[in-house]
A = this chain, B = another copy of it.
Amino acid sequence: MPKGYAIHDTKDWTNFKVEDFDLKPAEDDDITLSITHCGVCGSDVHTISGGWGKLAVPYVIPGHEIIGTVTEVGKNVKDVKVGDRVGVGAQVSSCMNCVPCWNDNENYCRGDGKKGVLDTYNSKYADGSIAQGGYSTQIRAHQQFVFPIPDAISSENAASMLCAGITSYSPLLRNGCGPGKRVGIVGIGGLGHKLRFHSPQYGVLFAAAMGAEVIAISHSPSKREDALKMGAKEFISTKETPNWAKKLAQNPLDLIVSTASSSAVDLPAMLSTLNVHGKLVFVGMPEDSFKDMRVQAFAGNGCFFGSSHIGSRKEVLSMLKLAADKEIKPWIEVLPMSRCSEAVKRVSDNDVKYRFVLKQDLE
């Protein structure tokens, strides 16, 4: 029977207990995985600690950066067979019956009244089945949300690409990141900062691999060396650079992807560094409102502010191909899955370079 590391109470969010659970009933499009690895995402911490509200299910097994081996396939399944190495990210279902779903935007599924975007854990299928995540032995999901992993990428390296990676890759791809473009990545951060939703490393790694000139922007200077090693051409510490925004505006950015999860970001300054009609895309999710959001900050360069939600299957496959072709390796720390409590605590403290991956150790 499937089992996993579960949290029962958001007030006791580091106290994992191993629980048995049922997979959703197998359908013709479903793929079942035996899980070997699972990344630890900031959203795991937000969810189990109650930062995003009460638990939606009696107990939550978190984890949505999942790698495993296929053990069972429904009769409609193409592209994947038993024994293949595959991954599952932060979404396991959509309605498949709305305009976004028909147009490679199932990550923006609007729902058809019966089904909609279904998160990988802390959620329920229409039939009442509970979706549990990857700090566990097994998961079952519709083939649309199960991705073959290229041989060139190790399971450890692939895991965190499936949420952190695609969350940075999709807005880069959709907003013209490429040769000749200057792309800012905000939120390299450092120890002692508030929990980040996503590691900024993928923003730097992918934007550089896509051919853009990458400018890493961070409050503290502590991550300068790492950011440059990851592929940033410039590193700017906003704390140590007076008039950083004015300096950047002299050679403005075409796109900024921000992983900062704090609303304390100086939004007008950030926007002022953009090119005409440049975009600032927040993939971090501050829990409160921006304090200083005035239209005036957008008029001088006609810039835009927006956000993004993971990525489509098509984009996940193209990201994995890029990572394989360019030999992109994330900076991770691997722990046995039984140390998930330590991992979520350290993610909460932002004490990780730059992502944990849990390795299966349940029988």
Please count how many residues in chain A sit with their CB below 8 Å of the partner chain's CB atoms.
Answer: 37
B174, B252, B290, B304: the one contacting A279 at CB < 8 Å is B304
B108, B263, B284, B288: the one contacting A300 at CB < 8 Å is B108
How many of these chains are in the complex? 2
The residues of B that contact A263 with a CB separation of less than 8 Å are: 294
Q: Does A299 contact B (CB under 8 A)?
A: yes
The residues of B that contact A286 with a CB separation of less than 8 Å are: 294-295
B301, B304, B305: the one contacting A108 at CB < 8 Å is B301
Q: Does A71 contact B (CB under 8 A)?
A: no
Contact A289 B294 (CB under 8 A): yes
The residues of B that contact A299 with a CB separation of less than 8 Å are: 285, 307-309
Mask: chain A, 104-117; 1 = CB below 8 Å from B; 0 = not: 01001010000000
User: Closest residue to A197 on the B side, CB-wise?
Assistant: B295
Contact B276 A108 (CB under 8 A): yes
Q: Does A152 contact B (CB under 8 A)?
A: no
Contact B300 A309 (CB under 8 A): yes
Contact A284 B289 (CB under 8 A): no
A window 285-321: CB within 8 A of B:
285-286, 288-296, 298-309
User: Closest residue to A285 on the B side, CB-wise?
Assistant: B295
The residues of B that contact A279 with a CB separation of less than 8 Å are: 304
Contact A108 B302 (CB under 8 A): yes
Q: Does A206 contact B (CB under 8 A)?
A: no
The residues of B that contact A307 with a CB separation of less than 8 Å are: 295-296, 298-299, 302-303
Complex CA gap A285/B299 in Å reads 9
Q: Does A150 contact B (CB under 8 A)?
A: no
Contact A306 B308 (CB under 8 A): no
Q: Does A277 contact B (CB under 8 A)?
A: yes
Contact B304 A305 (CB under 8 A): yes
Complex CA gap A285/B307 in Å reads 22
User: Closest residue to A171 on the B side, CB-wise?
Assistant: B302
Chain B: minimal CB distance from A171 (Å): 8
Chain B: minimal CB distance from A312 (Å): 10
The contact sample of 5 A-B pairs, CB cut-off 8 A, is: A103-B276, A263-B294, A302-B308, A302-B309, A305-B306
Interface residues of A (CB under 8 A from B): 100, 103, 105, 108, 110, 174, 249, 252, 263, 276-277, 279, 282, 284-286, 288-296, 298-309
Instruction: For the A-B complex with A108-B300, A282-B298, A286-B294 known, give 9 more contacts whose Cβ atoms are closer than 8 Å.
Output: A103-B276, A110-B252, A284-B295, A286-B295, A289-B291, A289-B294, A290-B293, A300-B309, A302-B306
9 smallest beta-carbon distances between A and B, as pairs: A298-B307, A304-B306, A293-B293, A304-B304, A299-B307, A108-B276, A282-B295, A290-B293, A299-B309
